[in-house]
Amino acid sequence: MTSQRVTIGTRPADPVSPASSGGPLPDRGPLVDRFGRVHRDLRVSVTDRCSLRCTYCMPEAGVPWLPRDTMLTTPELVHLAGVAVSLGIDEIRLTGGEPLLRRDLVDVVAGLAALDPAPEISMTTNAVGLAKNAEALVAAGLTRVNISLDTLRRETFIELAKRDRLKDTLEGIEAAAAAGLTPVKLNTVLMRGINDHEAPDLLAFALEHGYELRFIEQMPLDAQHHWDRSQMITGEEILGLLTPHFDLTPLPDEARGSAPAELFLVDGGPATVGVIASVTMPFCGTCDRVRLTADGQVRNCLFATGETDLRTPLREGADDEALADLFRESIGAKLPGHGINEPGFLQPPRPMSAIGG
């Protein structure tokens, strides 16, 4: 244990000016944008519904759900994912809402695993219900999970998520590890005055059980549009909460690649902790992600204000090349950065639950 102070790295947010138009977009081939970013990671929202009501995502009463007839069926979802794989996507992350609420989730995973070439399939989940589904999902082809865990205290969980489900979440985490969904990654959003004091306890819990913990700055993606920068726990503050208890050594950028988390060895390693400083130290310059919503819209950025509709042309009989062109069109319009720190930034009209993480 030490009181050594460390800082978030100086990795630039964007290697190009936001005003730059970039180079020409390739007409065919991989999903490369005008700024040279190659897109290999597809985030697929399989539902906008959720079993929790985390305050940084949606109000306790929930939000209006997408109409059922607008949601992609499993064959439609797998078809569009197959088009993306043909364009160089090699990892598919299933998101929500809460993906475990999709009744045919095992069929979705199996369909994606049958694509050629087969992508790596992972999932972001709150783990409520994972204990009874983990083995079936692994058998279908799921390889890894990211699990949201913001507190180890039941009362705080209820305050944050408006549901008494901490026990279910912890059981889901254990089941994921037992089923071989490793490394089990935990995602934590610290809220000022609510759970920020738990940062050392959460890291100690992860170290004890062999999980990989990543702290995430709260982003302006709540349905209420109540995000307040002054209330956000920054990456620097997160490190300040940890360093009196742990010796943190930053890993070089090469260890990070296009991943969002800056990694730190804990007490000399080999265990690490990550900090995702999306707001104060954005990593847009190496972003390789594209998103497909549960209702069939392509989003080229988590904070994009526009989308490209794939559901309608798919249902009208568009061939795969036409659908591939729509993927390329979306990536072609991608901006160099998310713009959170620029004057005039507008929060996307859709909340995180409808976009997918």
Q: pLDDT for 112-159, tens place per residue?
A: 999 999 999 999 999 999 999 999 999 999 999 999 999 999 999 999
Domain-embedded: residue 46: yes
Look at the pTM and tell me if it is higher than 0.85. yes
For the chain, report the end-to-end CA distance as a whole number of angstroms.
34
Residue 97, both tokens: 């809402």
Higher pLDDT, 265 or 228: 265
Helix (H, G, I), strand (E, B) or coil at 120: strand
pLDDT tens-digit series, residues 319-339: 999 999 999 999 999 988 887
User: Please, are residues 332 and 33 in contact by the beta-carbon 8 Å criterion?
Assistant: yes
Which residues make Cβ contacts (< 8 Å) with residue 53, sequence separation at least 6? 59, 60, 61, 62, 161, 162, 163
Backbone angles phi, psi at 100, to 5 degrees: -65, -10
Please report, as a single letter, which amino acid is at residue 157: F
Residue 25 falls inside a structural domain: no
Token pair belonging to 313: 């042309």
The rounded mean pLDDT for the chain is 88
Q: What is the pLDDT of residue 26?
A: 43
Angle at 273 between CA 159 and CA 97, to 5 degrees: 45
pLDDT tens digits, one per residue of 21-58: 444 444 456 899 999 999 999 999 999 998 898 887 77
In a domain, 284, yes or no: yes
Q: What is the pLDDT of residue 18?
A: 34
* In a domain? residue 13: no
* Total tally of structural domains belonging to the chain: 1
- Residue 219 in any domain: the answer is yes
Beta strands (DSSP E) in the chain are 41-45, 91-95, 120-125, 144-148, 185-189, 212-216, 248-250, 262-266, 272-276, 289-292, 297-299, 308-309
Reported as a single tens digit per residue, the pLDDT across 182-192 is 999 999 999 99
Cβ–Cβ under 8 Å, residues 242 and 236? no
Residue 284 has pLDDT above 80, yes or no: yes
Residue 217 has pLDDT above 70, yes or no: yes
Residue 11 lies in a domain: no
Query: What is the pLDDT, as a whole number, of residue 313?
Result: 98
Contact 82/322 with Cβ under 8 angstroms? no
Residue 102 to residue 356: CA distance in whole angstroms = 14
Range name among 71-85, 191-205, 214-228, 273-287 with the lowest pLDDT average: 214-228
Comparing 20 with 211, which gets the higher pLDDT? 211
Q: What is the mean pLDDT of residues 330-357?
A: 78
Rg over alpha carbons for the chain, rounded to the nearest Å, is: 20
In CATH, what number is assigned to the domain containing residue 327? 3.20.20.70
Pairing relation of β-strands 185-189 and 262-266?
unpaired
- Confidence tier at 226 by pLDDT (50, 70, 90): low
Residue 5 falls inside a structural domain: no
pLDDT tens digits for range 296-307: 999 998 888 889
Identify the pLDDT of residue 58: 74
Burial of 135 (0-12, 13-18, 19+ CB in 10 A): middle
Does residue 285 form part of some domain? yes
pLDDT score of 282: 78
Judged by average pLDDT, the poorest of 1-5, 90-94, 135-139, 151-155 is: 1-5
Question: Which structural domain range is residue 155 located in?
Answer: 41-355
Q: Which residue has the higher pLDDT, 195 or 228?
A: 195
